Structure 1
Amino acid sequence: MTFLPFVALIPPQDPSRPTSATVTGNVLRPAMRAPTPELLEGLKAPEGFRIAPWAEGLENPRIVKVRPDGTVYITQRKAENVVMLRDTDGDGMADLQKEVMKAQDLHGLDFTKDGKWAFVIGIHKVWKAPVLTDGTFGPAKQIINGLPDAGQHPNRTLAVGPDNRLYISIGSTTNAAPERNPYNATMVVTDLEGKGKSIYASGLRNTIGFDWSPKGQLYGWDHGSDWKGDDECREEINAIAQGKRYGWPFVYEDGKYDPEHMPLEKGYTLERWREESTSPEATYTAHAAGMQLQFYRGAMFPKEYQGDAFVTLHGSWNRYPASGYEVVRVRFGEDGKPKAVEPFITGWVLNAFSRREAQRFGRPCGLATMPDGSLLIGDDDQGMLYRVSYAKEGQRAMRLRPLDTTTVSPNLVRSPKQIDLKLGGWGLPNSEYAPGRSKSPAISLGDLPPGTKTLAVIMEDPDATAPKPFVHWLMADLTLTKEIPANVLPGDETAFGVTSQPTPNTMISTIVRYGGVQGGNSHGTVAYYGPKPPVGDSPHRYHFTVYALDAKLGLKPGFNRVGLLKAMQGHVLGQGTTIARFGK
């Protein structure tokens, strides 16, 4: 696609000279694919970063916000609701999804700094709702009505500014044409009751994502116009200031004229419009479609990320090759101005240069920082939220493998450090820890990888008829380094409807002494369950796998195998498996 921009010493509205431009347009909408584990494994991020699903089964999460207590909220445009999400069992996946508000055409969402009040915006209205102690919303009060019609850009956003005022982004009604309503293509400001509405800045075609830098400057990512060519009308990063105009619809990038339209105001020339417009601080690939923008204020990522911004790019539809479908990092200098825009997480689009084979398995949209400093990225195409974390200094960052919960002793990383294991007493018929007894054998460990913080153990039988595999033993968060002692006793652990075996009051659970917890086995207890294959079966194989992890998982007693595998993803430094056999 090519675009020959109008270049002339005489402005293009001079009737004595022709206005001429050649535009070649493209439409390329990559075909949608499901985000299989193999595709997710192909997502690319800088060294040390991990990305994994955090929530699934959503309808189309658009804006993502996190309250100070860590509760996550999303807006869903199609469902016209706000949904609250939490990971209540600590397995790394949101398991609570609850609708807290429903309203017509809603899209934007933000909270007061203390998290006690929520603000939601639709096309014409803004609502304010109290946040109750359980995280749900109380009755919403309409504080603004009569915002201008939306037209081409109905996805309005808002934010509570550092000055405790409400900032509202109102997109243009058209691709590139003069507006009849002065409030379109602007940033509007009101107080927190919706009063005192005024235009803060104008000439902003569609600034969905905006945030304040650590130095207090408001920055916004504005969408460039369509149908000017593959590389014209680049995405703009603007330092938005009160009373400023930012070019649209007559001027773009660093002062280029858009030859399609002329100013409506009598006596207004394109030259004057350009002189009175503020150029962007930086630009990025045209048509990438920036969504949420947020400055990073978390503590998890390396220090050099502090003060930089992340932006989700929804992806193009009228460019060849396709652009966007990624998350970018905007680097800021010591002067508080953007210095570069670079890819951060990429890979959601495949075969971007192929008109026949272009595919996508995600469209990044929402963006928020969790209290622990990790990032949440919303994908409104696939109904998912991803969590992006970083391996702290001294720990190894492993690239995730697809999680297959049906495979016995699954590898959770590509090339884990192998740990040598040896079972104590197994195979000795007179040993109290021999097969057929319900006393767990000791497990001797070889050298553990540097950075190991805890261990997890899975014992399972892949030869059982059902369930497959049959889980005999689950442990997590052990702080041992050389040997897991024999006869690990059940603790006072009852959870999720699973009752542990009785333990004499005088005995202390071995696993509790070492900081760990046990999960539920397939027999229905929270304890070790010894091998007992059916009479007549060939000897069964019993896989003992120990995982060395870089973190404490924090699982509750009674967790299941799938929950353990999901929680371990991204934390495995090494693993070892030994296989024992037993038959009657």
Structure 2
Amino acid sequence: MSTHYIFKVIPIVTAFVFSSVSAQRGIPPKDITKITHSTNYPEHLDFLPEMVNLLKVPDGWTVSIAASGLGKPRMLYHTPNGNLYITRRDTGDVLLLKDTNNDGKFEEVKTVVAEFKGVHGITMKDGLMYLCNNNELRRYTVNTDGTLSNKQMLFNDMPSAGQHPNRTMDFGPDGKLYISIGTLCNDCKESDREAATMIQVDPSTGKRMIFASGLRNTIGFDWHPQTNELWGMDNGGDAKGDDWPPEELNNIKEGKNYGYPFAYAKKEVDKTREDPAGNSKEKWVETTEPSSAEYQAHMAPIGFQFFPAGSPYSGDALVSWHGSWNRSKPVGFKVQRIRFSNGKPIGADDFLTGFLKGKTRFGRPAGVAITASGTVYISDDANGVLYSIKQK
């Protein structure tokens, strides 16, 4: 029997009155900022198979259920031989799914890693599977049957999880491993230099460095198949109103700072922040990078991946909008195609919609995997469903 949870909208109005004392850490400027913050969780509906008929995809595409009953599946990794791996943060394990009869559905589900608390990030290179939680990076040998063995820990001292424990990672064209480390809180200047950054790891030695900073929580990132440039979708802050700050897409480059916690979007200063020590927010932000594109606040981007070369929509990307919890009118709960032209984002179109119906929702898109031929897999971590979207 379904269990429904209904949460009322609770507006919270906070006024910040800032001192005129000269700028330093902890001493806010003299601006007065008023924020209205709404908490609104759409009512959850348990999944029924016929609900797939409520979903919409672009003309020429079809959506179907590739697997169900998966608990809370998060990030995905699809291998060239057709296997699909899924991390499950809440249960601390990794599943291997196999389509044994090539009918587009995964009939075989096997646990290949257990007792890895909070495991989230996943990628592969040279026959090795890399997995991480908020603190620890591990790798395993991938056996011929898809199971994993020979566990090795590369390090276990990434910053403590805090509010954003969902580390993600992938290998770049340079052969280095990149890991996104989100901010440890909603909105603060971190004491740990690795918080709110993208780090680069040498897989042969385990040594790491900060690649880029000022990234609040870039869970989804990938390299453009034509330009090899790194792009990431960053989550904006909470509790600053319905439409601020935006979710943003950044072209992430080595050594650059992308503004957090003092600015969002096109170097727009966050007026609710105190000034950094010995400087003003406005001066500090001058040296940061603007975002390349902005999207509706609170849609909560999770998975982000480009269509590979030779596939439909090659050079465009998909983003899973996990859905809002702190906006008066819910937004997100869908997958969008981010259109690129000449290596730059130019717009966004709906790709998978229908999860959100008024004040109810029956899914929250999370992970994205796109095969070499262009088949798309989307995980729903609210109802444990894996969707397959492919061209007719």
Do these two structures clear the TM 0.5 threshold for a shared fold by scoring above it?
Answer: yes
How many residue pairs were aligned?
A: 375
2:352 aligned with 1:340: no
**Structure 2 counterpart of 1:536:** none
Greater relative contact order (Cα 8 A, min sep 6): structure 1 or 2?
A: 2
**Structure 1 counterpart of 2:339:** 331
From 42, 50, 60, give the equivalent of 2:54. Answer: 42
CA contact (8 A) 2:66 2:388 kept: yes
User: Aligned partners of 1:16 and 1:59: how far apart in 2?
Assistant: 45
**Structure 2 counterpart of 1:111:** 124
**Structure 1 counterpart of 2:284:** 273
**Structure 2 counterpart of 1:425:** none
In structure 2, relative to structure 1, the CA distance for the partners of 1:53 and 1:16 (3 Å cut) is closer
Deviations 1:258-300 (A, max 9, x none): 2233244x32321222101101000111010101111001655
2:189 aligned with 1:178: yes
Give the counterpart letter for 2:86 in structure 1.
Answer: I
From 62, 75, 86, give the equivalent of 1:63. Answer: 75
Give the counterpart letter for 1:69 in structure 2.
Answer: N
In structure 2, relative to structure 1, the CA distance for the partners of 1:245 and 1:92 (3 Å cut) is same
Deviations 1:334-381 (A, max 9, x none): 2x1111122211111110xxxxxx111000001101344210001111
**Structure 2 counterpart of 1:130:** 141
Give the counterpart letter for 2:59 in structure 1.
Answer: E
From 324, 327, 344, give the equivalent of 1:316. Answer: 324
**Structure 1 counterpart of 2:314:** 306
User: Aligned partners of 2:76 and 2:214: how far apart in 1?
Assistant: 26
CA contact (8 A) 1:3 1:232 kept: no
User: Aligned partners of 2:286 and 2:212: how far apart in 1?
Assistant: 16
Give unmatched runs, 5+ long, in structure 2: 1-10
Report deviation, 1:98. Answer: 0.8
User: Aligned partners of 1:222 and 1:16: how far apart in 2?
Assistant: 25
User: Aligned partners of 1:299 and 1:5: how far apart in 2?
Assistant: 53
Moved segments of 4+, more than 3 Å: 1-6, 12-17
Give the counterpart letter for 2:388 in structure 1.
Answer: R
Give the counterpart letter for 1:343 in structure 2.
Answer: D
What TM-score does the superposition give when structure 1 sets the normalisation length?
0.62
Identity %: 38
User: Aligned partners of 1:37 and 1:97: how far apart in 2?
Assistant: 19
Name the SS for the 2:52 alignment partner.
Answer: helix
Larger Rg: 1
Deviations 1:121-163 (A, max 9, x none): 1111100111011111112100012111110000101111111
CA contact (8 A) 1:128 1:140 kept: yes
Name the SS for the 1:138 alignment partner.
Answer: strand
Pairing 1:186-225 to 2, within 5 Å after superposition? 186-193=197-204, 195-214=206-225, 215-225=227-237
2:99 aligned with 1:87: yes
From 259, 262, 265, give the equivalent of 1:253. Answer: 265
User: Aligned partners of 1:5 and 1:292: how far apart in 2?
Assistant: 35
CA contact (8 A) 1:300 1:372 kept: yes
CA contact (8 A) 1:300 1:390 kept: no
Name the SS for the 1:21 alignment partner.
Answer: strand
The more displaced of 287-296 and 254-263 is 254-263
User: Aligned partners of 2:28 and 2:262: how far apart in 1?
Assistant: 20
CA contact (8 A) 2:23 2:279 kept: no
From 219, 231, 240, give the equivalent of 1:228. Answer: 240
Please report the RMSD computed on the Cα atoms of aligned residues, expressed in angstroms.
2.3
Report deviation, 1:320. Answer: 2.0
What TM-score does the superposition give when structure 2 sets the normalisation length?
0.91
Give unmatched runs, 5+ long, in structure 1: 352-357, 392-584
Report deviation, 1:45. Answer: 1.4
User: Aligned partners of 1:37 and 1:370: how far apart in 2?
Assistant: 24
In structure 2, relative to structure 1, the CA distance for the partners of 1:285 and 1:189 (3 Å cut) is same
In structure 2, relative to structure 1, the CA distance for the partners of 1:39 and 1:181 (3 Å cut) is same
Report deviation, 1:89. Answer: 2.1
User: Aligned partners of 2:367 and 2:90: how far apart in 1?
Assistant: 15
From 357, 366, 385, give the equivalent of 1:350. Answer: 357
2:171 aligned with 1:160: yes
User: Aligned partners of 1:167 and 1:194: how far apart in 2?
Assistant: 14
CA contact (8 A) 1:172 1:184 kept: yes
